[in-house]
């Protein structure tokens, strides 16, 4: 966390001093992660591994933001693969909250809840980084959507609660509205359905912002893995369904949050969910237009693997910057 803070330090000397330690901290953190290979992942070892993975996630972030060009390439091509390998050693399906709807306060273990929510959020972050590398650098995703068998992270009202009493109250409210049986994969499938009824919209709108971000990121993964020169344009119908359903849910969610009596604080980067939605919409429109032209020798839409400069994406966004589509949300 100190390294992340140093990335944004207004003191140039402090920032430069911390930058000299970027690679050393990266080496230490990933060496620690390697120490878990071959160990039985349960009990305190599981908690230690989750914390080690949290540290590797932070290293990936600051190196991707502020590291040297060599370090940035290394974290995308090598370090993230190490992190994914460790994530696969976890029992992802066991990362789910208990049913707290009938739990009394004296039986509620706040630390157990926080530990589980941290694990679910960590797994979701890994998927978000994976999809971000696909979006911005044209790297094939390392996760398939079917692997997203973890439960859903709690809403910000639960995770940011200041006391066990407040946390349990918000947790029960959330689970009564949304249920307890859903995995991230299942809610992504719901989003792709042809019709999402009012109950389904409300259930999805009650989820955390990170879950909403994961749903739109899943749409980007589907877009990345699609091929307009193979198959029919009907393969894109679920993606269009997902875009339409996500937009309806997001707008309903804004109404729900406006009615919330509790101040949730600044949403940070998650507030840019609609931007990712718009980008997905523009990408799928371009792809379906490409498919309808039936040009087998046309230039591929994604010509370069691991595009460091992001020139293709930047040019694509600039092309649509002043179009009416940018105000579609």
Q: Looking at the predicted structure, is the pLDDT value of residue 326 above 70? A: no
Torsional sign, CA 268, 125, 116, 103: positive
* Mean pLDDT score, 277-293: 85
* Mean pLDDT score, 53-74: 93
Q: CB of 284 within 8 A of CB of 140?
A: no
Q: Looking at the predicted structure, is the pLDDT value of residue 324 above 90? A: no
The full 3-state SS of 64-89, as one line of letters, equals HHHCCHHHHHHHHHHHHHHHHHHHCC
Q: Looking at the predicted structure, is the pLDDT value of residue 305 above 80? A: no
SS3 120: helix
Question: Distance between CA 217 and CA 220 in Å, rounded?
Answer: 5
307 vs 88, more confident: 88
pLDDT of residue 296: 52
Q: CB of 222 within 8 A of CB of 131?
A: no
Greatest mean pLDDT range, 121-135, 198-212, 292-306: 121-135
Class of residue 214 by CB neighbours under 10 A (exposed 0-12, middle 13-18, buried 19+): buried
pLDDT of residue 323: 60
What would the pLDDT profile of 194-234 be if each residue is shown by its tens digit? 989 888 898 899 999 999 999 999 999 999 998 887 767 78
Rounding to the nearest 10 degrees, give the CA dihedral for residues 157, 161, 166, 167: 80
What would the pLDDT profile of 22-45 be if each residue is shown by its tens digit? 999 999 999 999 999 988 888 899
Question: Distance between CA 217 and CA 209 in Å, rounded?
Answer: 12
Q: Where are the chain's structural domains?
A: 91-320
Q: Looking at the predicted structure, is the pLDDT value of residue 128 above 90? A: yes
Using 50, 70 and 90 to split pLDDT, how confident is the model at 189? very high
Q: Looking at 85-89, 280-284, 306-310, which range is the least confident one? A: 306-310
What is the model's pTM? 0.90
pLDDT of residue 48: 95
Give me the chain's average pLDDT, please.
87
pLDDT of residue 314: 76
Q: Looking at 107-111, 150-154, 201-205, 252-256, which range is the least confident one? A: 252-256
């Amino acid at each position: 966390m100190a390294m992340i803070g140093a990335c944004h330090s207004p003191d140039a000397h402090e920032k430069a001093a911390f930058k000299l330690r970027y690679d050393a901290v990266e080496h230490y953190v990933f060496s620690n992660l390697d120490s878990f290979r071959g160990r039985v992942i349960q009990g305190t070892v599981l908690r230690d591994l989750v914390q080690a993975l949290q540290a590797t996630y932070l290293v990936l972030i600051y190196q991707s933001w502020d590291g040297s060009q060599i370090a940035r390439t290394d974290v995308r091509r090598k370090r993230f693969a190490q992190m994914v390998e460790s994530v696969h050693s976890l029992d992802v399906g066991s990362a789910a909250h208990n049913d707290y709807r009938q739990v009394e306060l004296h039986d509620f273990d706040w630390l157990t809840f926080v530990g589980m929510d941290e694990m679910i959020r960590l797994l979701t972050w890994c998927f978000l980084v994976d999809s971000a590398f696909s979006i911005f650098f044209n790297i094939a995703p390392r996760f398939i959507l079917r692997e997203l068998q973890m439960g859903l992270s709690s809403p910000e009202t639960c995770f940011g609660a200041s006391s066990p009493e407040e946390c349990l109250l918000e947790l029960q409210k959330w689970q009564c509205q949304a249920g307890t049986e859903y995995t991230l994969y299942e809610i992504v499938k719901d989003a792709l359905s042809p019709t999402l009824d009012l109950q389904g919209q409300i259930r999805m709108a009650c989820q955390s912002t990170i879950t909403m971000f994961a749903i739109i990121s899943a749409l980007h993964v589907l877009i990345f893995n699609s091929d307009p020169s193979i198959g029919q344009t009907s393969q894109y119908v679920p993606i269009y369904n997902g875009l339409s359903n996500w937009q309806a849910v997001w707008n309903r969610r804004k109404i729900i949050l406006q009615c919330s009596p509790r101040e949730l604080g600044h949403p940070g980067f998650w507030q840019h969910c609609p931007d990712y939605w718009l980008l997905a919409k523009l990408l799928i429109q371009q792809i379906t237009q490409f498919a309808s032209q039936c040009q087998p020798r046309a230039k591929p839409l994604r010509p370069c693997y691991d595009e460091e400069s992001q020139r293709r994406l930047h040019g694509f966004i600039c092309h649509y910057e002043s179009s009416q589509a940018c105000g579609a949300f």
